[in-house]
Amino acid sequence: MEDCIEIVHKPISLKKLSQWIDSPTCGAQVHFLGKVRNHNEGRDVLGIEYQAYTVMAVEEMKKIVHEAKQQWHFYKCAFVHRLGKLGMGEVSVALFISAPHRKEAFNASQWMISEMKKRVPIWKKEFYLDGSSWIGLQQCHHEIS
C-alpha cells in the first residue's frame, strides 16, 4: 500500500489525511501534529518560516517510512511537512498512521518524528519581537564543516 509523503506550501488538510489512512483492517490510528508554539527557550515567538531542500527532504522522509515499516507493523501512513511562513497554532507537520493495533502505530510515530528532526533537511526561522533566528542551522553547519 502506497503512503502519502509530501512537502506542501499550503495548510495541511487533516481531514483528508485521516480519511486517506482509514482502513477496516486497522483498529488504531495515531495522529501527530507539530504546531507553531508561542515561545522557545524563554523568548516569545511571533511566527515561523520553514525552508527545505525539498527533493532531498521527500526522499529522506520516504526512507524513514520504509525503515519504520521494517520495525513495526502498520498499514498506511501520511507524512506531510509544510513550508513557508506559519503563524501561531498552525500545523507545520502531520504524521498519521493506521495499524491493526495501537502499540505499533504509537512506536512508529514517535520514532519517525525523532528521525525526521535529525535527518530531513528542513530548517526553521523563528521570529521574535526583537528580531529573528534560524534554529538548528548552526548545528547543521558545524556537522558539515
Cβ atoms of 94 and 113 within 8 Å: the answer is no
- Write out the three cell numbers for 25: 483492517
The predicted pLDDT at position 144 comes to 42
Report the candidate in 133, 128, 113 with the shortest Cα–Cα distance to residue 37.
128
Evaluate whether 21 touches 78 at the Cβ level (below 8 Å): yes
pLDDT > 50? residue 11:
yes
**Residue 1: its pLDDT value, please?**
65
Task: Let me know if 120 is exposed, middle or buried by CB neighbors in 10 A (0-12, 13-18, 19+).
Answer: buried
Whether the full predicted model's pTM is greater than 0.85, yes or no, is yes
The answer to which of 14-23, 92-101, 123-132, 134-143 has the lowest mean pLDDT is 134-143
Half-sphere exposure of 55 (CA within 13 A, CB side): 0
Indicate if the alpha-carbon torsion angle 10, 16, 18, 21 is positive or negative. Answer: negative
Domain boundaries, the chain: 4-144
Please say whether the beta carbons of 20 and 78 come within 8 A: yes
Across-strand partners of 45? Answer: 128
CA proximity to 77, closest of 105, 106, 102, 97:
97
CATH 3.30.470.20, applies to 4-144 = no
Give the tens place of pLDDT for each residue, 59-73.
999 999 999 999 999
